[in-house]
Amino acid sequence: GEWEGEEDDPSFVSTSTVTSTIDTSSTATPQLPAGKLKPKQSLGQNFLKDPNTVAKMIRAFHQDATRDGKPLNTIIELGPGAGALTDRLMENYGSDVLQCIEIDPRAVEILNDRYPDLLVYHEDVLQVNYPELAKQQGHPLVVIGNLPYYITSQILFALADASHSGAVQSATVTMQWEVAQ
C-alpha cells in the first residue's frame, strides 16, 4: 500500500555504492498543511505521496550523483512542492548542500518556514540559467526533481543543454509514464 514502509518492488536490488550514511528507507512523507497547498493544475503539479517512490529516488540519485567518487557540494532540487523529497534530502545532505528552485510562492513559504537555512530560489525552472548557476557554485550541478507533466520535455532539454556545456553533472528525475513513453 501507499503508506507501508517496505520495499514494494520485488526486483529492486540495493547497490553497494549507496553508503550506509545515506538514509534511503521509506517513511511516510509529510502531511500538507491544511488548506495551504493543493496541487495547481495550471502549474502541472503532482506531489509525491508514496514513501517508496521517494526512497527509490533518493537511492537512484545518490548512486548517480556520487558515481565519480567526488563529494556532493551542491544539490539542486527542481520544484520541491510540498517537500517530500526535500525532507529526505535535508536529512541526508543538509542545507549547506541542498538548494531548491520553486515557482509556487505557497511552496516557497512552506519550505522557508520548515527549513529557514535552506536556500529556495523563487523562480521558474525553465528560466534558470544553469551554466551561470554552476559557475556561481564553482562546479557542475547535480539535479533531482519530480517533474510537472506539461513542461517535462522543456526541462529535460534545458538540463541536456546545460549538461553539454558542463554545467550539469547528473540529473535524477521522475516523470509521468505518458511522457516517458
Other beta carbons less than 10 A from residue 46's beta carbon: 17
Model confidence over 75-116: pLDDT tens digits?
999 988 878 888 889 999 999 999 999 988 888 998 999 999
Q: Measure CA of the first residue to CA of the last residue in the chain; give whole Å.
A: 25
CB distance 134 to 167 below 8 Å: yes
The answer, yes or no, to whether residue 32 has pLDDT greater than 50, is no
Model confidence over 153-171: pLDDT tens digits?
899 999 999 999 999 999 9
Residue with the larger pLDDT of the pair 111 and 33: 111
Distance, CA of 128 to CA of 99 (rounded, Å): 13
